[in-house]
Amino acid sequence: MRSSSTPAASFPGRRRALRLLAAAPLLGACGGPSVLRQAGLEPVPPDGLPRAVPAPALRVGDTWRYAMRDAMTGLTSDRAEIRVIAADAGGYSLAETSQSVGAFEARYDRSLNLLRSRNRVFTPAYPRFAFPLEIGKTWRANVTSSAVPAVRYGTLSQQVSATVRGWERVTVPAGTFTALRVDLAIDWRDTDDATIWGNSSERFWFAAEVRNAVFHHRVDFAQGRLESNNSVTELVSFAAGA
């Protein structure tokens, strides 16, 4: 019998589930006040801003560079480049390269929601955005996140709920943006072992002028304790395709 006092990460299945969460969308949380202040975030009034933000039209060659850091220590943990290599009616194919995992191809739908990453498939797409984005808009989805190739403890059932909170000003290495904040709450459970469960939270700040998020904060918990991840991703640069 498993004792409730035994650390979750001591079981192989739980360790694997936590690693899978850490391998979630690169721009793929509940940010504490210190993180928000460090990012230069502050509320801005909606006067002069659009009521609804439509889905961006990505172009082949659009390129984003991001820096990831640990939200607790502030230390840089990774750097990544994301580039659009194909666009069609069903979505976008992106070449993603990071220092930690190397190069791979990912697939997103037309709302920039992840369908496939380096080693994960999402059914349906992971719903970080639901365009048009409007303040107060909410959405929910049940998502199955499966490892590729399939392994035991490799499939997570995720219940995702999201809310568009409002406009805020955010300063990142790429500059200062007036961005629309989207909050996600995720309850997850391993489909092979019901005792492997937890929750995650994410916050995205979407800026239309760069066609993507400029700031992202994610925290992953297991059994109510911070286990594997508390990370911030910031836009370093954006270059529009031809």
Q: Binning pLDDT at 50, 70 and 90, where does residue 226 land? A: low
SS (H, E, C) 17-66: HHHHHHCCCCCCCCCCHHHHHHHCCEECCCCCCCCCECCCCCCCCCEEEE
Residue type, 164: V
Q: Which helix (H) or strand (E) holds 12?
A: helix 12-22
Q: Binning pLDDT at 50, 70 and 90, where does residue 27 land? A: low
List the domain boundaries for the chain: 8-56+114-232
Average pLDDT over residues 125-137: 94
pLDDT value, residue 222: 80
Residue 223 sits at the vertex; the CA angle it makes with 218 and 226, to the nearest 5 degrees, is 40
Q: Above 50 in pLDDT, residue 52?
A: yes
Q: Above 90 in pLDDT, residue 152?
A: no
Strand runs labelled E in the chain:
42-43, 63-70, 76-88, 91-98, 102-108, 114-116, 120-126, 138-147, 155-172, 175-190, 197-207, 212-222, 225-239
pLDDT value, residue 51: 84
Least confident of 25-34, 89-98, 159-168: 25-34
Least confident of 51-65, 110-124, 140-154: 140-154
Q: What is the pLDDT of residues 164-205, one digit of tens each?
A: 999 999 999 999 999 999 999 999 999 999 888 999 999 999
Percent share of the chain, pLDDT over 90: 62
pLDDT value, residue 195: 86
pLDDT value, residue 59: 97
pTM here?
0.82
Better pLDDT: 115 or 100 = 115
